[in-house]
Structure 1
Amino acid sequence: MIKKILLFLIVAVLASCSSSKPAIATTKKQAAVQKPRTVAAKKESPVKPIGKNYPSTNNTTEVIQSTSKTVVNSSSINDYVLQYKDIAMGNMQKYGIPASIILAQGILESGAGKGDLAVSANNHFGIKCHKDWLGESVRHDDDAEQECFRKYREASESYRDHALFLVGKNRYASLFTYEKDDYRAWAKGLRACGYATDPNYPDKLISYIERYNLHQYDCQITGKTYVAINKSAPARKPSYDVASDPKINMSSNDPNLYEVQKGDTLYSISKKFNILVDDIKQKNNLSDNALSVGQKLKVK
């Protein structure tokens, strides 16, 4: 009886051992099946760059070399012009410097606002300290190492100082004998007066003016009709028509008269009608810039 019991236990143990082996074999087979999946995932990874976005070929890049070497694209230059055109036109009206020249110099000297001096010192025209400068300064390598350049709190101060610099220096007096909108004469004159040592400086300025239609801003001040030179990039047309815009309150009795509205200034009116502030004052016998709401002004 004991032998039968022992024999039964031995058979049971053997049966148990044999039943566990398939489970181990199955685990190994599953592991073997999973390996190819891991390898397949690794092979798929190089496919990712197919979705990469490449820059548009229309937005061309160029290197601007002035006080620093700066790589910019045409979109950056257009943005720069839109940001500072009003300041340039204001300076043209006040100081007699062509807005096109101001903007072209700003583009060239500041690398369209992205050059080292423009970023670190808000200096958009590469103006050095000189003996009469009492403001802040920075050091920057140019014709010599670590030269002193003017530093401004904001870019608009640089634009104003540029105008005062040209107006206040006797060496630039000959520039103001040229027509206010003769950008070619001004570009060549700046080089002749010693503003820059680069012999190609005038050609660079003229190139920016004609490629980016900067002369249109001169015409907005002088009241002359602008004709785009660069046919591939036409001048931006005004977003309004003086004759049909209901915001512009022309007198019903006389179409040559404009009725002053709240918030108007002589400068804003001059821009609406493409007329000089001085011409408005002369037409209306104004001795100063004061205006009153409801006042009628001759603008044609």
Structure 2
Amino acid sequence: MRNFIRLLMIFILFFSLKISAQNSYISQYKAFATELSQEFGIPTVVILSIAYMETGGGTSSACKVLNNHFGMTGKNDINSSRFKSFADSKASYRAFCEWVSKRKFYEKLKGSQDHNNWFMAIASSGYSTKPAEWKQKLNVVMKKIGL
């Protein structure tokens, strides 16, 4: 019984720390994502959900080492990975919004708050190799992090 209580306490502690880290990532980037949303017409929830999913809530090595929050590929001078490096996190967020703004679907969706249409359009534009599955994961992430 004692071991069960210890295990339960560890389990609760683990999940409370995980929730805290999730909230920390969202609160750290929400204001900037909102600024970009106003500038580019891409919903904040779309920007943050994709960044959160691509980085595992800010825990991926691409995020930590390369400041890459969106899994964008390209050159970097830091390591031999295929992921692009950015000077800082804001540069990564901006590069993603600029990438989206150059896609064919952008003008049609600009200003729309329908995250499902955004997720599917982004996924189908080559951002994901499995658009339907990626969209579904994003919807789960969005609900999980309370956006």
TM-score w.r.t. the length of structure 2 is 0.82
Residue 191 of structure 1 contacts residue 202 of structure 1 at CA under 8 Å; is this kept in 2?
A: yes
Alignment match, 2:56: 111
Kindly state the Cα deviation for residue 58 of structure 1 after the two structures are TM-superposed: 8.2
| Offset, 1:57 | 6.6
Aligned equivalents of 1:176 and 1:114: distance in 2? Answer: 33
> Whose radius of gyration is greater, 1 or 2?
1
1:54 aligns with 2:10: yes
Q: Describe how 1:114-129 pairs up with structure 2 within 5 A.
A: 114-129=59-74
2:52 matched to 1:96?
no
Which residue identity does 2:90 align to in structure 1?
S
**Unpaired segments of 5 or more residues in structure 2?**
none
Please state whether the residue corresponding to 1:200 is helix, strand or coil: helix
The answer on whether the counterparts of 1:85 and 1:99 sit within 8 Å (CA) in structure 2 is yes
Q: Which residue of 2 aligns with 1:192?
A: 124
* CA RMSD, 1 decimal: 2.6
Unaligned 5+ residue runs, structure 1? Answer: 1-49, 61-71, 141-147, 215-300
Q: In structure 2, do the counterparts of structure 1 residues 160 and 138 end up closer, same or farther at CA, with 3 Å as the change threshold?
A: farther
Counterpart-to-counterpart distance in 2, 1:149 and 1:204 = 21
Q: What is the CA–CA distance in structure 1 between the aligned matches of 2:107 and 2:136, rounded to whole Å?
A: 20
| Partner Cα separation in structure 1 for residue 125 and residue 78 of structure 2 | 24
**SS of 1:56's equivalent?**
helix
Counterparts of 1:124 and 1:85, CA distance in 2: 13
- Deviation of 1:160 after TM superposition, in Å, equals 1.0
SS of match in other structure, 1:149: coil
What's the counterpart of residue 85 of structure 2?
Answer: 151
In 2, Cα distance between equivalents of 1:192 and 1:58? 36
Q: Tell me the TM-score normalised to structure 1 length.
A: 0.42
State the 1:153 CA deviation. Answer: 2.1
Q: Judging changes above 3 Å, is the alpha-carbon distance between structure 1 residues 167 and 137 closer, same or farther for their aligned structure 2 residues?
A: farther
Higher relative contact order (CA 8 A, sep 6+): 2
Identify the match of residue 138 of structure 2 among 190, 205, 226: 205
Structure with bigger helix share is 2
> SS state of the match for residue 71, structure 2?
coil
* Equivalent pair of 1:96/1:176 in contact (CA under 8 Å): no
Aligned identity (percent) is: 24
Give, as a single letter, the amino acid of the residue that structure 1 aligns with 2:80.
R
Aligned partners of 1:122 and 1:158 also within 8 Å: yes
Residue 160 (1) aligns with residue 94 (2):
yes
